[in-house]
C-alpha cells in the first residue's frame, strides 16, 4: 500500500505484531514541524466497537506525560482499516538499531523504556508488548513505542499470529494465558528485553520460528534460563524481573530503571 488517509507513504518500516509500519510525509493538518511521521496500519479488520476501544486506548496513551514515550499524533480509519501516526525516530530500535549500540547504551535504553513503562503504570495502563523492537533509540537514550493492542482489537486473543513469532518470548506467560496485565508483567518483558540485548539470546533459547505451536508451548511450559554471558549484577536484575512470583519482582518499573542506572554508572 502506498497511502492511508492523507498519509503518503515513503517506505515501509517493518512489521509489528498487529500491523505494518510505514514512514510517511507529515500531513499539514497535524500542525507539527517534523517532516516525517511513522504510521502503523493495523492488519486486523476492526468493527465499530473495537475501533472505539482502540481510540480510547490510544487517547489514554497519548495523554501520559513522559519523556520516554513516543508521541502519538493521530488515530483514525479509512475504509475499515485503522491506523495511527506517531513520532518517527530515525535511529531504529534495540532490535534493529541504525548504528551499533554499546552495552552501556543498551542498558540505558532499557532503563528509559522502564521509566516509560512506569509512567504508563502510574496512568493506569499496562504496555503489554515491551520488546526490543518497541524500544526506539534516541541520541541520549530511548523511547518506548506502541502498545500491545491485540486484546483491544479481539477480546480474548493474546497473540495475533501476525508478526514474528519470536516476540512471544517477551510475553509474561501470565499475559499469554490471558491474565490481567500488571506492572509485574511489563517488568517481566523488560527483563527479557534486557537479557536479549545484552546476550543476543532469548531466555528460552532459540524459539522455532517456523513452529508457532512449539514456541508457545515452550514459553508456557519451560522456566526461563539465563545466559552465562551476563555479569553477576546483570543476571541478578534479570532474575528478579523473571521471578515466577510476581510479588518478588521489582515493585515498580521505576525501581528497575534505578537498578539499571546504578548498573550503568558502576561499570
Partner 1 sequence: MNLAEGRLAPAGGGDGLVARRPGAAIFVAARHPVDDVNALMAAFSAATDPAPGHQLARALARIVGDDSATGLPGFAVVAATPGGLYVKVYGGVEVEVHGAEGTETLSGVGSLTGVDREITSDPHTVVVHRAGEPAPATAFDVDLSAGSIPGGGFALTTLAGPADAPVGPAPESNAPDAAADVAVEPPSDAAMGPGGAAAVGTAAVEAIGDEVTDGPSGAMADPTADDTMGVHTDDAMGGDGPNVADLAPGSSLEDPTQAWTAADVAAATGSEGPGAEPMGDAEPMGDAAPMGSAEPMGDAAPMGSAEAEGAADDGRDVFWGASAAGVAAGPPPTDPPMVDPPTMVGPPSGPPGLDDLPVVGAGALEGNVRDFEALPVADEPPATSEGGADADMESMAGSGGAMADSGIGGSMADDGGMSTAPGPADAGATPAGDDAFVAGIVPPPAEEISAEVPASPPSTPTPESAFAPPSGFTSQLLGALDSDEIDERDALPLEPEPSEVRQADQVTSEVMVQGVVCSRGHFNDPRSRFCSSCGISMVQNTQILTNGPRPPLGVMVFEDGSTFSLSTDYVVGRQPEVSELVQQGLALPLPVDDPERSISRAHAELRLVDWDVHLVNLSGTNGSFVWDEHAQQWIAIPEGQSVMLTPGMRVALGRRSAVFESSLVR
What part of residues 38-57 is at the interface with partner 1 (CB under 8 A)? 45-49, 51-52, 55-56
Residue with grid cell 515491551, as numbered in its chain: 130
Give the residue, chosen from 11, 102, 221, 265, that forms a contact with partner 1 under the rule CB under 8 A: 221
Query: Does residue 206 bind partner 1 (CB under 8 A)?
Result: no
What contacts 185, CB < 8 A, 6 or more positions away? Answer: 126, 128, 172, 174, 175, 179, 246
CA of 192: how far to CAs of 53, 76, 126, 195, 234, in Å?
29, 32, 16, 5, 12
- Name the pairing type of β-strands 81-87 and 72-78: antiparallel
CB of 204 to partner 1, least distance (A): 14
- Residue 14 or residue 76: which is nearer to partner 1 going by CB? 76
CB of 180 to partner 1, least distance (A): 5
Query: Does residue 266 bind partner 1 (CB under 8 A)?
Result: no
CB of 130 to partner 1, least distance (A): 14
249 three-class SS: coil
Query: Does residue 247 bind partner 1 (CB under 8 A)?
Result: yes
Residue with grid cell 517456523, as numbered in its chain: 210
Q: Within 13 Å and on the Cβ side, how many CA atoms surround 159?
A: 23
| Per-residue binding letters, 64-103, with partner 1 (x by CB under 8 A) | -x-----xxxxxxxxxx---x-------------------
Query: Does residue 36 bind partner 1 (CB under 8 A)?
Result: no
**CB atoms closer than 10 angstroms to residue 253:** 28
Contact yes or no for 208/231 (Cβ under 8 A): no
- Residue 37 or residue 101: which is nearer to partner 1 going by CB? 37
Contact yes or no for 170/215 (Cβ under 8 A): no
CB of 249 to partner 1, least distance (A): 11
Query: Does residue 179 bind partner 1 (CB under 8 A)?
Result: yes
Q: Grid coordinates in use for 115?
A: 521509566
Give the residue, chosen from 10, 176, 230, 235, that forms a contact with partner 1 under the rule CB under 8 A: 176
CB of 95 to partner 1, least distance (A): 18
- The dihedrals phi and psi of 22, each to the nearest 5 degrees, come to -135, 150
Task: Point out which span in 92-100, 134-142, 166-174, 189-197 binds partner 1 (CB under 8 A).
Answer: 166-174
- Residue 85 or residue 111: which is nearer to partner 1 going by CB? 85
| Per-residue binding letters, 119-148, with partner 1 (x by CB under 8 A) | --xxxxxx----------------------
What contacts 56, CB < 8 A, 6 or more positions away? Answer: none
- Residue 82 or residue 111: which is nearer to partner 1 going by CB? 82
Amino acid at each position: 500500500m502506498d497511502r492511508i488517509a492523507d498519509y503518503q507513504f515513503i517506505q515501509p518500516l517493518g512489521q509489528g505484531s498487529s500491523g505494518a509500519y510505514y514512514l510517511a510525509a507529515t500531513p499539514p493538518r497535524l500542525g507539527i514541524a517534523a517532516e516525517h511521521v511513522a504510521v502503523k496500519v493495523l492488519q486486523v479488520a476492526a468493527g465499530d466497537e473495537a475501533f472505539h476501544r482502540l481510540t480510547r486506548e490510544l487517547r489514554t496513551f497519548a495523554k501520559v506525560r513522559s519523556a520516554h514515550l513516543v508521541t502519538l499524533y493521530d488515530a483514525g480509519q479509512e475504509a475499515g482499516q485503522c491506523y495511527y501516526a506517531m513520532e518517527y525516530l530515525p535511529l531504529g530500535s534495540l532490535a534493529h538499531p541504525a548504528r551499533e549500540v554499546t552495552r552501556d547504551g543498551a542498558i540505558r535504553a532499557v532503563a528509559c523504556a522502564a521509566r516509560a513503562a512506569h509512567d504508563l503504570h502510574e496512568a493506569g495502563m499496562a504496555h503489554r508488548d515491551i520488546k526490543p523492537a518497541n524500544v526506539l533509540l534516541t541520541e541520549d537514550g530511548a523511547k518506548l513505542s506502541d502498545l500491545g493492542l491485540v486484546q483491544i482489537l479481539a477480546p480474548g486473543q493474546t497473540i495475533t499470529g501476525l508478526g514474528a513469532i519470536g516476540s512471544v518470548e517477551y510475553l509474561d506467560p501470565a499475559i499469554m494465558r490471558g491474565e490481567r496485565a500488571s506492572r509485574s508483567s511489563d517488568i517481566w518483558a523488560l527483563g527479557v528485553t534486557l537479557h536479549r540485548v545484552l546476550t543476543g539470546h532469548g531466555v528460552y533459547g532459540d524459539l522455532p520460528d517456523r513452529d508457532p505451536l512449539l514456541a508457545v508451548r515452550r514459553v508456557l511450559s519451560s522456566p526461563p534460563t539465563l545466559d552465562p554471558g551476563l555479569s553477576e549484577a546483570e543476571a541478578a536484575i534479570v532474575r528478579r524481573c523473571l521471578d515466577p512470583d510476581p510479588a518478588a519482582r521489582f515493585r515498580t518499573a521505576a525501581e528497575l530503571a534505578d537498578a539499571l542506572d546504578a548498573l550503568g554508572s558502576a561499570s
